């Protein structure tokens, strides 16, 4: 057992606290990781607000990269000294999805079995089974994905959640490729990552839609060829118009990615897609939201696919090393997602900045 500093949410809505936590030595199949960087994600704020579940206290943080310090019995995929990005999809290899070869859908992902605790022994719930706003964290070894150690931790760690969700929504779920038009509704960290992924895949045009002009500027830097301010114009009509400029007769974009998580923007995505096109929902709705009221004939008549993207349908062992290599080669600008590097004591301030819309990601650097 060892003691380190970590950031917890003790009770619903209370400001986060930097406290001493106990980290058990890694048991079978577990690893202790020295955290080097961890991005601040909306999900951390949702945990703090009690929007995920009531299992307080939470150890927050889950978009992280670091160095493996120690591994438990039977761990062979990673070793002390390895530079890893942490993931929340440690696949089991045994469930129905895994057995049929769909490892990215694994229905039985796992985390560390032992619990990290407060000094008084109170068990902590690590955010998404990770808990990386801490000097060190205990995870399942399968949550550690080895990547090129020369990558900047603050950038590489972002692949652990939002940036992977966005890139994967385009490349994995939407099967975006060259010769296809893409529109992305909502250009926060996730949407902009979907734009970067679409650019990597060679899509043209790539239409960014947001109600905030600053977000559209960022989208352009990451590969959007067109921007639509949907607070001023009808995004459905604009997406249709632009797509038809590129592909004669197109009635919308081939792939429309919804990265807000709201019924009205999903409905825009539904009608802004071309016949036989694909809608990808990667924004996360709240439990009270409903599918918009649509004529069933429109669902039938437009064909194509209405999909959801869980964590970008990623397989960490396949996708993280590949994307880190593209980053190292200058083909994927992960640095552009790091708006600022902050200290472990600055997380409340980073939550505030999220609402102002000035940052894609604040990243805690340890």
Q: Which residues of this protein are in contact with ligand APR, per CB under 6 A?
A: 42, 162, 165, 185-191, 209-212, 215, 230, 259-261, 265, 282-284
Nearest residue (CB) to ligand APR, 137 versus 227: 227
Q: What are phi and psi of 220, to 5 degrees?
A: -65, -40
| Chosen from ligand APR, Zn ion, none, partner binding at 106 (C-beta under 5 to 8 Å by type) | Zn ion
Q: How far is the CB of 264 from ligand APR (least distance, A)?
A: 6
Among Zn ion, ligand APR, none, residue 95 binds (CB under 5-8 Å by kind):
Zn ion
Site for Zn ion in 259-318 (CB under 5 A): none
Least Cβ distance, residue 133 to ligand APR (angstroms): 17
Return the beta strands (E) in 44-161 as ranges: 58-59, 63-71, 83-86, 117-118, 125-126, 136-140, 144-146
Q: Which does 188 bind (CB under 5 to 8 A by kind): ligand APR, Zn ion, none?
A: ligand APR
Is 144 near Zn ion (CB under 5 A)? no
Site for Zn ion in 192-231 (CB under 5 A): none
Least distance from C-beta 47 to ligand APR, angstroms? 12
Distances (CA, A) of 312 to 125, 175, 212, 326, 363: 24, 11, 24, 17, 21
Q: Give the Cα separation of 340 and 103 in Å (integer).
A: 34
Contacts of 248 (CB under 8 A, 6+ apart): none
Count of other CB atoms within 10 angstroms of residue 10: 15
- List for the chain the helix, strand, coil content (%; round to 5): 35, 25, 40
Nearest residue (CB) to ligand APR, 282 versus 334: 282
- Spatial contact of 206 and 179, defined as CB atoms under 8 Å apart: no
Binding site for Zn ion (CB under 5 A): 41, 43, 92, 95, 98, 106, 108, 161-162
């Amino acid at each position: 057992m060892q003691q380190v500093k970590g950031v917890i949410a003790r009770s619903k809505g209370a400001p986060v606290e930097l406290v001493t936590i106990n980290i058990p030595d890694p048991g079978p199949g577990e690893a202790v990781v020295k955290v080097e960087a961890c991005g601040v994600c909306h999900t951390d704020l949702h945990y703090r607000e009690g929007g995920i579940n009531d299992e307080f206290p939470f150890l927050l943080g889950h978009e992280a990269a670091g160095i493996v310090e120690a591994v438990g019995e039977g761990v062979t995929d990673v070793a002390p000294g390895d530079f890893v990005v942490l993931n929340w999809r440690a696949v089991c290899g045994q469930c129905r999805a895994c057995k049929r070869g769909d490892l990215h859908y694994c229905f039985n992902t796992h985390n560390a079995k032992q619990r990290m605790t407060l000094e008084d022994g109170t068990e902590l719930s690590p955010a998404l089974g990770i808990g990386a706003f801490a000097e060190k964290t205990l995870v399942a070894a399968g949550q550690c994905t080895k990547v090129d150690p020369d990558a900047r931790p603050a950038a590489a760690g972002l692949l652990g959640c939002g940036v992977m969700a966005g890139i994967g929504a385009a490349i994995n779920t939407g099967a975006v490729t060259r010769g296809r038009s893409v529109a992305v509704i909502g250009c926060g960290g996730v949407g902009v990552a979907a734009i970067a992924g679409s650019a990597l895949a060679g899509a043209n045009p790539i239409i960014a839609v947001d109600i905030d002009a600053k977000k559209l500027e960022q989208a352009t830097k990451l590969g959007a060829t067109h921007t639509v301010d949907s607070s001023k114009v009808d995004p459905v009509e604009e997406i249709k118009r632009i797509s038809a400029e590129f592909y004669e007769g197109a009635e919308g974009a081939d792939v429309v990615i919804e990265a807000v998580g709201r019924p009205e923007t999903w409905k825009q995505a539904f009608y802004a897609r071309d016949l036989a096109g694909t809608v990808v929902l990667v924004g996360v709705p709240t439990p009270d939201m409903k599918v918009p009221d649509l004529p069933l004939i429109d669902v039938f008549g437009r064909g194509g696919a209405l999909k959801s993207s869980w964590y970008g349908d990623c397989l960490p062992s396949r996708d993280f090393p590949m994307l880190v290599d593209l980053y190292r080669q200058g083909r994927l600008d992960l640095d552009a997602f790091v708006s600022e590097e902050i200290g472990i004591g600055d997380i409340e301030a980073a939550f505030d900045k999220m609402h102002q819309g000035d940052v894609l990601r604040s990243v805690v650097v340890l």
